């Protein structure tokens, strides 16, 4: 059915161009996968032979394992810190009514607006004074700060499509504020909260520049380690770790699409 | 909560409302404590460092930027790269968003997923992928040579071209996503009305559809441009030392020269330019949903 009076023939160029651009976006990501299964040190495409050599190298390397474990730990802790904090802030800012509400609503987005490199050297400078460089708490706090806007924006959007009167009813019937929030509001905004948490996790897991300044050695995160590896030589071990990360990112997209679906039905 | 309470229990109600407001403000305090300590304080400090050195107030750091050719060329590179990548993102991203907006739901959701997968893939992974594809004996060169299109491998990476390609790959989704969100909200009746009044498809697009998609386009464009200004990783790896952006110079000033004044003054300029671009765009266009799409 063509409801827009433009014959399909005339749209052909559009589909062609659109398909080309999408190919440009997707193919480079996918090309890494076969290379990771190659059996030679050469970065050939398509590889002449296949093996699990680079995955074995990855699993056998203490450095990569430690970096992956470090990243996972930091990302989980970041999510645990940023999600409740950001949710509380989103709730407070949504209800508002106190002084500077408008200004604070803008300021909460600041981590997205300040160039990352400026944030990174600023935190590096601060941590040098406080002795927090190369510490887990330092990394988690920095990543949580960077993740806060994602949680606040996501939960804030959820609260805008939620009817706050329900919570007021619960409270007028005798529930404490916290109980009313937990029993009535939270279940209804749980998908935005979850997608905020997921964004916080990914933003920490992928964060390169701040980690580059404030972590190193045994505290290197996975992106920090990849950064060094890319600088030294580009061998297929990185393809193997990349393939794992690509699988994770595809998983993320699927989960996010699932959490967004109910909102579309309204 | 703003209604004025009257009657016998007015004072009590007002006190309750005040308590509630204070509690709401309290809920936001951990977030702003973290932002204050880890963002506003250190960035403020860097502002200070950029204008004060051991001898007192100095504008030397800023003077250097306008007179030293090395700095001028860094600004020019960063600006040229950002303008080029933004323009290409608009030219290539608009048709994608437009196509997805007119596809049937199932096909649209597949295409959207295909745009989102690279968006969510780690930056370093994509940088690595482009190194593999574009290097001397990389995928593109070997395919072109096998087909006999070229005899000598093309220099596609470790230069401006490679950096542009890598950045474009990262930025296109940032343009497509807000634009698509905008297009989905456009009422098709406008398009049908234009057609029924005799406008050609071309005229309908240029005079009805395009203006309606401007808020999303402007939001995407400003987002892309501002992120481009701050790029560090991609030019670092795909530029091969031939491309130096402001962010890279900031890192060099810290890591190589320990020159905090020079680094922070560049950071301040980058930040101020970022804010100015946002401000300028928001004056010119109604930026809707600017913050609804975000990424690492």
Q: Does A17 touch chain B (CB under 8 A)?
A: yes
Handedness of CA A129, A134, A137, A142 (dihedral sign): positive
Give the pLDDT of residue B296. 27
Give the pLDDT of residue B1. 47
User: Tokens in use for B252?
Assistant: 């060099």
Chain B residue with CA closest to A112: the answer is B294
pLDDT digits (tens, 9 = 90+) for B126-179: 998 998 899 888 888 888 888 888 888 889 989 999 999 999 999 999 999 989
pLDDT digits (tens, 9 = 90+) for B17-39: 899 899 999 999 999 999 999 99
C-beta pairs of B193-198 under 8 Å, 24+ apart in sequence: B195/A4, B195/A5
State the angle between helix axes of B260-284 and B60-67 in degrees (0 to 180), rounded to the nearest 10: 70
Buried b / exposed e over B95-120, threshold 16 CB at 10 Å, is: bbbbbbbbbeeeebeebbebbbbbbb
For an interface test with A, the pick among B90, B109, B124 (most A C-beta atoms closer than 10 Å) comes out as B124
Mean of pLDDT over chain B:
89
Main-chain dihedrals φ then ψ at residue A39, nearest 5 degrees: -105, 10
Main-chain dihedrals φ then ψ at residue A38, nearest 5 degrees: -70, 155
**Which of A123-137, A230-244, B88-102, B261-275 shows the lowest per-residue confidence on average (mean pLDDT)?**
A230-244
- What 3-state class would DSSP assign to B136? coil
Beta-carbon separation of B25 and A98 below 8 A: yes
Beta-carbon separation of B268 and A114 below 8 A: no
Work out the minimum CA distance from B71 to partner chain A, whole angstroms: 17
Give the pLDDT of residue B291. 43
Beta-carbon separation of B230 and A117 below 8 A: yes
Work out the minimum CA distance from A96 to partner chain B, whole angstroms: 7
Superfamily of domain A62-264: MetI-like (1.10.3720.10)
Work out the minimum CA distance from B232 to partner chain A, whole angstroms: 8
The ipTM estimated for the assembled molecules is: 0.86
Q: Where are the domains of chain A?
A: 62-264
Per-residue pLDDT 10s for chain A (266 aa) are 344 555 666 688 899 999 999 999 999 999 888 888 888 777 777 778 888 888 988 888 888 999 999 999 999 999 999 999 999 999 999 998 888 888 898 899 999 889 999 999 999 999 999 999 999 999 999 999 999 999 999 999 899 889 999 999 999 999 999 999 999 999 999 989 998 999 999 999 999 999 999 998 889 999 999 998 888 776 788 888 889 888 888 888 887 777 665 444 33
Residues of chain A in contact with residue B275, where contact means CB-CB under 8 angstroms, are 113
């Amino acid at each position: 059915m063509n409801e827009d009076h433009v014959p399909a023939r005339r749209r052909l160029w559009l589909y062609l161009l659109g398909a080309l651009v999408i190919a440009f976006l997707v193919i480079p990501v996918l090309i890494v996968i076969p290379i990771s299964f190659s059996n030679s040190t050469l970065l050939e495409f398509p590889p002449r032979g296949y093996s699990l050599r680079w995955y074995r190298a990855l699993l056998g390397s203490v450095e990569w394992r430690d970096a992956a474990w470090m990243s996972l730990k930091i990302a989980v802790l970041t999510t645990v810190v940023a999600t409740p904090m950001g949710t509380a802030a989103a709730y407070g800012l949504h209800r508002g009514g106190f002084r500077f509400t408008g200004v604070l609503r803008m300021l909460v987005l600041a981590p997205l607006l300040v160039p990352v490199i400026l944030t990174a050297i600023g935190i590096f400078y601060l941590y040098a004074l406080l002795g927090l460089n190369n510490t887990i708490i330092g990394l988690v706090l920095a990543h949580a700060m960077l993740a806060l806007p994602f949680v606040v924006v996501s939960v804030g959007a959820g609260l805008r499509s939620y009817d706050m009167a329900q919570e007021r009813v619960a409270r007028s019937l005798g529930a404490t504020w916290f109980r009313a929030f937990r029993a009535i509001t939270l279940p209804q905004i749980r998908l935005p909260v979850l997608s905020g948490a997921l964004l916080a996790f990914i933003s920490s897991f992928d964060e390169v520049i701040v980690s580059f300044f404030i972590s190193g050695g045994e505290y290197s995160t996975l992106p920090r380690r990849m950064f060094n590896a890319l600088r030294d030589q580009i061998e297929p071990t990185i393809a193997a770790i990349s393939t794992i990360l690509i699988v994770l990112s595809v998983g993320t997209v699927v989960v996010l699409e699932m959490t967004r679906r109910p909102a579309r039905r309204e | 909560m703003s209604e004025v309470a009257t009657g016998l229990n007015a004072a009590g109600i007002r006190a309750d409302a005040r308590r509630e407001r204070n509690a709401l403000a309290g809920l936001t305090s951990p977030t702003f404590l973290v932002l204050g300590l880890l963002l506003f304080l250190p960035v403020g400090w860097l502002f200070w460092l950029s204008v004060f050195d051991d001898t007192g107030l100095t504008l030397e750091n800023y003077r250097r930027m306008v007179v030293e050719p090395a700095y001028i060329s860094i600004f020019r590179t960063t600006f040229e790269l950002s303008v080029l990548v933004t323009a290409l993102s608009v030219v290539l991203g608009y048709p994608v968003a437009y196509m997805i907006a007119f596809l049937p739901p199932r096909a649209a959701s597949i295409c959207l997923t295909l745009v989102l997968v690279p968006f969510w893939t780690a930056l370093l992974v994509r940088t690595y992928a482009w190194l593999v594809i574009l290097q001397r004996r990389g995928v593109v060169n070997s395919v072109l040579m096998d087909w006999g299109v070229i005899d000598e491998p093309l220099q596609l990476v470790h230069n401006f071209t490679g950096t542009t390609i890598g950045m474009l790959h990262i930025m296109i989704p940032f343009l497509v996503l807000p634009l698509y969100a905008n297009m989905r909200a456009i009422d098709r009746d406008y398009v049908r009305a234009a057609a029924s009044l005799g406008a050609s498809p071309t005229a309908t697009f240029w005079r009805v559809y395009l203006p309606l998609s401007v808020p999303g386009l402007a939001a995407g464009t400003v987002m892309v441009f501002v992120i481009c200004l701050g790029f560090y990783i991609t030019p670092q790896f795909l530029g091969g030392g031939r491309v130096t952006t402001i962010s890279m110079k900031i890192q060099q000033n810290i890591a190589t020269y320990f020159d905090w004044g020079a680094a922070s003054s560049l950071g301040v300029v980058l930040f101020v330019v970022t804010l100015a671009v946002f401000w300028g765009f928001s004056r010119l266009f109604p930026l809707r949903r600017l913050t609804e799409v975000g990424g690492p």
